Amino acid sequence: MKEKKRAFITGITGQDGSYLAEYLIKKGYDVWGLMRRTSLDPLMRIHTMADDRSLKLRYGNLRDTSSLQRALEEAKPDEVYNLAALSDVGISFKCPEETMEVNYYGVSRLILEAVKVNKKVRIYQASTSEMFGTTKPPQNERSIFAPVSPYAEAKLMAYRDFVKGYREQYGYFIASGILFNHESPRRGEHFVTRKITVSLAKIKLGLQKSFSLGNLDARRDWGYASNYVTAMHAMLQQKKPDDFVVATGISHSVRDFVEEACKELDIPLTWKGKSLKEVGVTKGNKTIVTIDKEFYRPAEVRALCGDATKARTELGWKPKVTFEELVRMMTRADLEHYKKSL
């Protein structure tokens, strides 16, 4: 009987980790997931798989070499997916050292421990469209990187030093996905899309009066996370390690997202005022959206829109969910969830 392939996923409890684990288990892999101890329920997104014998969860941390060593020695992976990171761009301005420790040094620790266990291991590193920073869209693999946050700086340094660097210096198989924003009902609530769908669902049900946002005019290329993890896997099945942009090629503003979610929930919305005084108003002149300086970043990536031609042609990957479908999926999931609490 053919032996099952073994995958090791860091960040398994996050949005992408949970979708990727499901995808790989369906493909017949044995999956080892590395998770950090947190005070919140770490199994929130993976509880349906928690009893699956193909999934083994181990405590560990990209900041702790011995934990990586132990888990990797047990897993002996054919493929490693590094999805663990301090992923909140806004918070990275407040915790730059921690960001560098995890998103830069952590990547090197993981790679060096993984190749000790299996020299031929194939490694996926989660790079990010934030690395393009101020470079104008559309952005692809040949665009200039111009990061503006500690998060993007650390990711770019990891990309240069450990993805390209180790690939060229030591011939390791390390691929990287330059993923544009990807969302789902499993997205953390501090990211703007989920913050909007949770808040509007609660407003619709009378559980909340209003919520605050930062820059309404920032533009992002938003796709569906479950669709994006398939590209990660495809990258590790190529003959050679390479870098790929994964994106829909269509960008929308935060304002567009709010409007689309209101449309989906049948909440009439009009914008009034300007800049920090701008508000979103509904029936009866009730303010449901306000602007708070707190949610502006010290430096902002104004517009991201990816050109995923290379992923389409070389990986056969394509975006499968439109912006409207994504907003609908997220608003409906939150509405259903909060209806249960009534």
Active site residues: 128, 130, 151
Among 121, 115, 88, smallest CA distance to 103 is for: 88
Contact between 254 and ligand G4F by CB under 6 A: the answer reads yes
Residue 192 makes contact with ligand G4F by CB under 6 A: yes
| Residue 214 binding ligand G4F, by CB under 6 A | yes
The answer to whether 165 contacts ligand G4F (rule: CB under 6 A) is no
Closest residue by beta carbon to ligand G4F: 218
Task: Out of 12, 89, 267, 311, point to the residue binding ligand G4F (CB under 6 A).
Answer: 89
Q: Does residue 254 have a known ligand-binding role?
A: no
Determine which helix (DSSP H) or strand (DSSP E) holds 183, and give its type and residue range.
strand 182-183
Answer yes or no whether residue 323 interacts with ligand G4F by CB under 6 A: no
| DSSP string covering 269-295 | -EEES-GGG-EEEEGGGEEEEEE-GGG
Q: Is 93 in the site for ligand G4F (CB under 6 A)?
A: no
Q: Which residues make beta-bridge pairs with 163?
A: none
Nearer to ligand G4F, 198 or 234 (CB): 198
- Residue 220 in the binding site for ligand G4F (CB under 6 A): yes
* 271 lines the binding site for ligand G4F (CB under 6 A): no
Which residue in the set 56, 58, 63, 297 belongs to the binding site for ligand G4F (CB under 6 A)?
Answer: 297
Nearer Cβ to ligand G4F (191/338): 191
Among candidate residues 2, 181, 173, the one with its CA nearest the CA of residue 80? 173
Instruction: Supply φ then ψ for residue 194, to 5 degrees.
Output: -70, -35
Rule CB under 6 A: choose which of 109, 195, 252, 255 binds ligand G4F: 195
H/E run at residue 178: strand 173-179
Cβ 57 to ligand G4F shortest distance, Å: 23
Query: Is 98 an interacting residue with respect to ligand G4F (CB under 6 A)?
Result: no
Q: Binding site annotation covers 88?
A: yes
Check binding of 218 to ligand G4F (CB under 6 A): yes
Nearer to ligand G4F by Cβ, of 71 and 218: the residue is 218
The three-state DSSP-derived secondary structure of 110-127 is: HHHHHHHHCCCCEEEEEE
**For residue 256, with 0-12 CB atoms within 10 Å meaning exposed, 13-18 middle and 19 or more buried, which class applies?**
middle
Q: In the complex, what is the shortest distance from the CB of residue 89 to ligand G4F, in angstroms, rounded to a whole number?
A: 4
Helix axes 106-117, 65-75, angle to 10 degrees: 30
Residue located via tokens 């047990």: 74
Based on CB atoms, which residue is closest to ligand G4F, 55 or 197?
Answer: 197
Q: Which of 263, 300, 312, 338 binds ligand G4F (CB under 6 A)?
A: 300
307 binding ligand G4F? (CB under 6 A): no
- Which of residues 104, 162, 172, 180 is near ligand G4F by CB under 6 A? 180
Q: Does residue 255 contact residue 217 with C-beta atoms inside 8 Å? A: yes
CA count, 13 A, side-chain hemisphere, 333 = 16
Orientation of helix 323-339 relative to helix 192-204, angle to 10°: 50
Q: Provide the pairing of β-strand 30-35 with 279-282.
A: unpaired
Q: Which of 65, 118, 140, 215 binds ligand G4F (CB under 6 A)?
A: 215
181: contact with ligand G4F by CB under 6 A: yes
**Distances from the Cα of 10 to the Cα of 55, 185, 316, angstroms:** 13, 21, 25
The verdict on 7 binding ligand G4F (CB under 6 A) reads no
327 near ligand G4F (CB under 6 A): no
Cβ-based nearer residue to ligand G4F, 42 or 177: 177
